[in-house]
Amino acid sequence: MNVLIWFKRDLRVHDHPALTLAASLGPVLPLYIVEPEYWALPDTSARQWEFTAETLADLRQDLGTAGARLVVRVGDAVEVMERLRRQHKISHIVSNEETGNLWTFARDKRVAAWAKAAGVEWTELPQSGVVRRLKGRDGWARKRDSFTAQPQLPAPTGLTPVSGVEPGVIPSARALRLAEDRCAHRQAGGRQHGLLALDSFLTLRGEPYRTAMSSPLTGERACSRLSPYLALGALSGREVAQATTARLAERPGGRWPGSLTSFQSRLAWRDHFMQKLEDEPQIEVRCLHRAAEHLRPRDPDASRLAAWSAGETGLPFVDACMRYLAATGWLNFRMRAMVTSVASYHLWLDWRATGPVLARRFTDYEPGIHWPQVQMQSGTTGINTPRIYNPVKQGSDQDPTGAFTRRWLPELADVPDAFLQSPWRWEGARGLLGRRYPEPVVDVMAAQRAARDAVFGLRKTAPRAEIVEIIERHASRADPRFVNDRAPRRRVPVSSAQLSLGL
Ligand SMILES: Cc1cc2nc3c(=O)[nH]c(=O)nc-3n(C[C@H](O)[C@H](O)[C@H](O)COP(=O)(O)OP(=O)(O)OC[C@H]3O[C@@H](n4cnc5c(N)ncnc54)[C@H](O)[C@@H]3O)c2cc1C
């Protein structure tokens, strides 16, 4: 029996349940399909592809060492698989479960229908704490922790390849005709770079993590920077979690224990958020809280959207973050939350217009984290207390010397520190604003007040039954790791106070 291993967002040989199973079944054909229709979606980009291509190069090498080279094909998944089935007598497909976007969800359904009709068995295996066909959130954290604690699966050796298969080339972004997407400081793809980042985080960079993660100045180094490696599956979540546990067991001193424990919580959040999209794929396109559906105009103000996307809002810290993101493909959590919050509250833009802009700029785009987070930071979940970040205050708190802001907005080099985050208050701004740097697109405080009134007004009138249903389905249970996204224990009546606070 010839077995096709379908690699998707799991580009590694280590701790790979599908590869382990396939190796025990017979000769293997490891396949990655470059799907042009996917790469034309508004949430994908050339920077993501380039990172993927680098990761595929590492995977090809690792699979070669294990005995079977990676096969790469460009085209529609069903057509590619049907051709391979005919040419190479494939009777079984094995893959790891993917929590992707709506497009990959629909594609998987097409593949399932084709496999059934063609008499091909398709086995999908869990590869993280995300649980498929979960009935409700009670007991989920235990299941997740139990998966994460199980031993990692070693990379197989001595694979028997299906013979006579042309490996195919890994195409360039240009060959795929992807829109130009310059990202001069993008992280390098591939498992080897992921392992280096993991090691340097756990032994050198991570000590100040807990206190340094929120500033863009210190977060760049103190955060793990593992997100793109986890998103593409170059590293497994389980191996990162277990490496962290092992490091904690060494009893490192100083700030290490607090930082490593905090990091472990973030890894749990990863699964917690991805579980939301797994349970409700429509989170990508519909407000979780239906009453929020008409909160903002569906057709966003085009000039505000363009200004925000280009880092030209006249709000310095927001613009610096957006330009930094364009150039690096990464932002720390706090800044992602802030730029989303400003877009959704101050600029009053629908998250379905801004979410794809961020997604394609993120090298680490992970639909299961991205869409629930975008909704959470836009006040459309119904269960989280809306958090409206003031960009002027964030700038002063997180970039007190102005070094970050000035680096990405060199036109503000001469603005004194006291006015850097609000140059419109500076009397010397006349030759600057509206010429070399824009006037602010909104009055921050007035826009913030208007947004708060609208969002809290909506929450007061929200149907209670709907909120209870969202809590049952998506909120975490009493677990200190998920303190910001927590539901009351089951069967405890939900009080009005809890509803309005979004607990
Ligand atoms: C609007 C918005 C969109 C986001 N979109 C993405 C996305 O597309 N892909 C993505 O990986 N992360 C996303 N995040 C979460 C978070 O900002 C990034 O995971 C983090 O900044 C990545 O850097 P790091 O790997 O150094 O993180 P670290 O702080 O070192 O965290 C380690 C890992 O934990 C997970 N993690 C960290 N924070 C969170 C969180 N708040 N929720 C869920 N998981 C978390 C990630 O996998 C991350 O790689 C988003 C956050 C917001 C507010």
What tens digit of pLDDT does each residue of 51-83 get? Answer: 999 999 999 999 999 999 999 999 999 999 999
The pLDDT of 143-162, averaged and rounded, is 97
Whether residue 349 is predicted with pLDDT greater than 50 in this model: the reply is yes
> Which residue's CA lies nearest to atom 3 of ligand 1?
370
9, exposed or middle or buried, with CB in 10 Å at 0-12, 13-18, 19+? buried
Q: Which top CATH class is 191-277?
A: mainly alpha
Q: In the sheet where 121-125 sits, what is the strand order?
A: 71-74, 28-34, 2-7, 90-96, 121-125
β-strand partners of 123: 94
Name every residue whose Cβ is closer than 8 Å to that of residue 464 and which is 6 or more positions away in sequence: 494, 499
Q: Give the separation between CA 471 and CA 377, rounded to whole angstroms.
A: 17
Which residues are CB-neighbours of 288 under 8 A, at least 6 positions away?
A: 280, 372, 375, 380, 381, 382, 383, 470, 474
In 97-201, DSSP assigns E strands to 121-125
Instruction: Please calculate the CA angle 218-219-225 and round it to the nearest 5 degrees.
Output: 140
Mean pLDDT over 396-407 rounds to 97
pLDDT in tens, 367-396: 999 999 999 999 999 887 889 999 999 999
Is residue 485 in contact with ligand 1, taking CB distance under 6 Å?
A: no
Of 235, 363, 364, which is best to mutate to test ligand 1, by the most ligand atoms within 8 angstroms of its C-beta?
Answer: 364
- Supply 235's token pair: 């590293």
Question: Does the CA dihedral 416-422-423-427 come out positive or negative?
Answer: negative
| Predicted local distance difference test score (pLDDT) of residue 500 | 29
Give φ, ψ of 4 to 5 degrees: -100, 125
User: Does the Cβ of 476 fall within 6 Å of ligand 1?
Assistant: no
ipTM of model: 0.99
The CA 276 to ligand 1 mean position distance, Å, reads 15
Model confidence at 226: pLDDT above 50: yes
Task: Tell me which residue has its CA closest to atom 38 in ligand 1.
Answer: 266
Percent of the chain with pLDDT over 70: 95
Cβ–Cβ < 8 Å for 422, 394: no
User: What does the pLDDT look like over 282-326, one tens digit per residue?
Assistant: 999 999 988 899 999 999 999 999 999 999 999 999 999 999 999
> Residue 264: which of 241, 243, 246, 237 has the closest Cα?
241
Kindly list the domain boundaries of the chain, sorted by start residue.
2-127, 191-277, 283-462, 464-492
pLDDT score of 200 more than 80:
yes
In the block, tokens 């993008």 appear at: 186
456 marked as part of a ligand binding site:
no
pTM, to two decimals: 0.95
Superfamily of structural domain 2-127: HUPs (3.40.50.620)
pLDDT at residue 476 greater than cutoff 80: no
Q: Which of 6-20, 430-444, 462-476 has the lowest mean pLDDT?
A: 462-476
**Among candidate residues 204, 223, 200, 224, the one with its CA nearest the CA of residue 212:** 223
What single-letter DSSP state applies at residue 13?
S
Distance 227 CA to ligand 1 centre (A): 6
Strand pairing partners for 4? 29, 93
Number of H helices, E strands in the chain: 22, 5
Beta strands in 151-302 (DSSP E): none
- Evaluate: CB of 362 within 6 angstroms of ligand 1: yes
How far away, in angstroms, is 333 Cα from ligand 1 center?
Answer: 6
Tokens of 214: 């929120």
The third-level CATH classification (topology) of the domain covering 283-462 is DNA Cyclobutane Dipyrimidine Photolyase, subunit A; domain 3 (1.10.579)
DSSP 76-95: -HHHHHHHHHHHHTEEEEEE
By C-alpha distance, which of 63, 59, 96 is closest to 192? 59
Known binder of ligand: residue 209? yes
Task: Please tell me if the CB atom of residue 227 comes closer than 6 angstroms to any atom of ligand 1.
Answer: yes
- Whether 134 contacts 105, CB under 8 Å: no
